Chains A and B, each alone.
Chain A
Amino acid sequence: MRSSDVDEPREADMADQARLADALSQEEVEALIPHESIWAYRLRRLDIPVQLLRIGILFAIWALWHYDVVWDGLTSISFFGWDRVEVFGWFGWSMTWFSWDASFFGIQPLPYVQETFRASPGETWEYFTQIYHEKLFWKDLWVTVKEALFGFAIGSILGLLVGIVLGRFRQAAKTLGPFIVIINAMPKIAFLPLILIVYGVGETSKVVLAVIIVFFIVQVPTQAAVALVDPDLDLVARTMGASQRQLFTKVTLPGITPAVFGALRLAAVISVLAVVFGEIFSARRGLGQRLITAANQLSYGDTFAIVFILALIALIMNGIIGFSERKALRWQATQQGGQVISL
């Protein structure tokens, strides 16, 4: 900036400046924009229409369940006309209808469920009120949580390590790649009978199954993420004389973090799935075992309740990961498209 311009404006400039208005002051700017109280802001962020819609949908689901609509199913597709059929028995309409059997290639997508196999919301809720006093339930819960956590932790750590090593060392990836692809292509659940023989019906076998499944869920995206770290960042760091170790801790590791968190979230849900499947198949204790026992005793209210509890476990694990993700990836929230999925 040349000082002469500021100190001695020419006359023509002064005439220009006379017409140039002063910049608006902070108060004037604020007077121009509509003001919103903090409560109005919070209300707007709460998004009442969406919340009402959510409650409405929840209520509709409950109603469909409570009034047996889901159980009665849709066994025929009918039009006003000639025949007499009750559609959605709950409504109890008995008009004259023309109807077809609602099946496609011999399969009824929404079949009628017999009374014996039904469970009402009331029965499901009852289970929740009972378990509080039941020691064995808490023991089962603990077994399942423990298995899922171990499966998740061991599988994730192994997946991360192998993913990073294969991502960084091309020779290793080239050599081992085909084997990993082949093993990954196998339906891992099919290993369960073998796992049960080798590790017994105890908790270890469930952990092993979860580890195998979680491993690939983490390893594959981690390896891909290592290869996708911005090459400019790598170049910049290398020209500044970064050692291999520094390149890893200051470029590769932070670069793959978003992808790794995405994989971990999925792994958390899948680890619960894996151990429950293992328990349903064969186990001494665990919620999966409890679920299949309840189903065998036709206590379907109990099975529903257990499913909800399992979902809760997965949600809590997912939530904890999501929380650390938001902490670790604060920088990403400042970017568009880097939104973290949340409730």
Chain B
Amino acid sequence: MSPAVELKDVTLIFGGDHPKDEPVLAVQDIDLAIPAGQFVAVVGPSGCGKTTILNMLAGIIGPTRGSVMRHGEAIDGPSDDIGYMLARSGLSPWRTARRNVELGLEFRGVPRGERRERAMELLAKLRLEGFADSFPSQLSQGMRQRVAIARTLAIDPDLWLMDEPFGALDAQTRLTVQAEFLELWYETHKTVIFVTHDLEEAVLLADRVVVMTARPGRIKSDTIVDLARPRVIDELRFDPVFRETEHKIWEELRGEIV
């Protein structure tokens, strides 16, 4: 069976519009196959092409060379079974938290009552039921991010693309949101590609951590995280296997950052 997500020899060059602009080689020769249900974290220095890879998977841009596939079929545009969460929460300021969560369901024409039910269920799981009728401007940063998570998952996507979803959160809030997120994922076991700057987060959450080199982004290492599930992340932090894995990946990453 073909993998849920596959990048084959993918190279992407951003060409300037002006003939004199210099083209930017963003990622080069990426080979990555992800089986269904795997939680993959991608780490790498800033500007190495992590967001670019997610954008290709989301069908927003196409590769310059190579192929990007899902279940063996080339991606040729956005698809409504992908949940893509941007680093910025990207909530509509004129929609309440609940209506923001309903957005993707509205696009699919899900009836109002059903939409509402699904949104409230997700908001409750993220402990936001009391803020369903608040507008984004009335929510804290962490709450907005949780609404964005709920919106991404409301359409029950087959593939979750998360671009530094917790990057803007403070350390404590991040801890709770990570735990909530992990729980939501554990219930469904969908394929996740999770981009982060935080190596600890990558190892705590993922089955597998991919380290990318500095631009042009290539795959430097690919490590399986051998930690049992379900995971209790605030305990796992002190686990020797966790420490060891994090240390090993850090050694790989350090070479790229310095």
Contact = CB atoms under 8 A, between A and B. Distances in A.
B58 A335 contact: no
A251 B107 CA distance: 11
A250 interface: yes
Contacts of B47: none
Interface in A229-267: 230, 232-233, 235-243, 246, 250-251, 254, 257
| Chain A interface helix/strand/loop/mixed | helix
Given A232-B90, A334-B138, A237 B107 contact: yes
A331 interface: yes
A246 B107 contact: yes
Contact of B86 (A236, A242, A331): A236
Contacts of B93: 331-332, 335
Contact of B79 (A237, A241, A257, A334): A241
Interface string B106-150: 111000000000000000000000000001011000000000000
Contacts of A251: 92
Contacts, number: 68
B245 to A, nearest CB: 22
Contacts of B138: 334
**Most chain A beta-carbon contacts within 10 A, residue among B83, B90, B155:** B90
A2 interface: yes
B107 A331 contact: no
Contact of A240 (B80, B95, B234, B235): B80
B82 interface: yes
B107 A243 contact: yes
Nearest to B80: A241
A335 B135 CA distance: 9
B13 interface: no
A185 B79 CA distance: 45
Interface string A60-103: 00000000000000000000000000000000000000000000
Contacts of B92: 233, 250-251, 254
Interface string B58-90: 111000000000000000001110111010101
A277 B137 CA distance: 44
Contacts of B60: 235, 238-239
Contact of B94 (A237, A242, A331): A331
A117 B172 CA distance: 76
Contacts of A241: 78-80, 104, 107-108
B24 interface: no
B12 interface: no
B103 interface: yes
A190 B90 CA distance: 47
Contact of A2 (B83, B155, B234): B234
Contacts of A240: 78, 80, 83-84, 103-104, 107, 155
A243 B107 CA distance: 8
B194 to A, nearest CB: 16
A343 to B, nearest CB: 25
Contacts of B137: 331, 334-335
Interface in A202-244: 230, 232-233, 235-243
Given A232-B90, A233-B90, A239 B78 contact: yes
Given A254-B94, A334-B138, A235 B86 contact: yes
A324 to B, nearest CB: 15
A339 B104 CA distance: 30
B257 to A, nearest CB: 28
A6 to B, nearest CB: 14
Interface string B225-258: 0000000101100000000000000000000000
Contacts of B79: 241
A239 B82 contact: yes
A237 B103 contact: yes
Interface in B145-189: 151, 155
Contact of A232 (B86, B104, B151): B86
Contacts of A242: 107
**Most chain B beta-carbon contacts within 10 A, residue among A2, A239, A257:** A239
Contact of B106 (A236, A250, A331): A250
Contacts of B83: 240
B232 A2 contact: yes
A232 B92 CA distance: 9
A236 B90 contact: yes
Contacts of A236: 84, 86, 90, 103, 151
B249 to A, nearest CB: 27
24 contacts: A232-B90, A233-B92, A235-B60, A235-B86, A235-B90, A236-B151, A237-B107, A238-B78, A239-B58, A239-B78, A239-B82, A239-B84, A240-B78, A240-B80, A240-B103, A240-B155, A241-B104, A241-B108, A250-B92, A250-B103, A250-B107, A329-B94, A331-B93, A331-B135
Given A239-B82, A250-B103, 8 more contacts: A233-B92, A235-B60, A236-B90, A240-B80, A240-B83, A251-B92, A329-B94, A331-B135
